[in-house]
A = this chain, B = another copy of it.
Amino acid sequence: MSKLSKKERQEQLVEMLKKKPFMTDEEIAKHFNVSVQTIRLDRLEQSIPELRERIKVVAERNLDQVRSLRVDEVIGEMIDLQLDQSAISILDIGEEHVFTRNKIARGHHLFAQANSLAIAVIDEELALTASAKIRFLRSVKAGERVVAKARVVEKRAGRTKVKVESFSGQEMVFAGTFTVYRAEKEKY
């Protein structure tokens, strides 16, 4: 069979590596029946990283999933608490909170901080989040310190509404309103 054109080869290469990212240049070269150098040029032009880099990317994806929300993970450190009024907690974003690829904090950590703060501020035996409306205003990266401020904005039969705003420095990065269900101890 005649050799493919450069364009065709590169297109096929991209597709192939999506399915089989573990091929060395040598194997690829054999597959297309061209020299190793040609493949290197192809990768360069298509900005496909080298084998080890490709493997690493796949591996990191996997590792991320393991580092999920661990139980004992403290969701921020409480630094102020006025029961039924307001509360403040801080959470230092570390490597364990971010996506490895882009270092951006996973949303559920910011949520967890805010949610647990909203619950802590309630002065009751049993408090559970019933609903919430949240917004992620800016992405937070590893190294930043997020300060969450909660305040009770409404309190009525069985339900309390808590507003939480989280900041990194002066900037608000997250905001949410939590409706928390509360009940005296008897029921459950």
Contacts and interface: CB of A to CB of B under 8 A. Distances in A.
Contacts of A56: 22, 55, 59
B71 A96 contact: yes
A61 B68 CA distance: 13
Given A71-B97, A73-B64, A136 B126 contact: no
Contact of A62 (B61, B112, B139): B61
Contact of A112 (B74, B112, B131): B112
A95 B19 CA distance: 12
The interface size bin for chain A is: 35 or more
A129 B133 contact: no
B64 A75 contact: no
Nearest to A54: B59
A150 B139 CA distance: 23
Contact of A129 (B61, B95, B107, B119): B107
Contacts of A67: 19
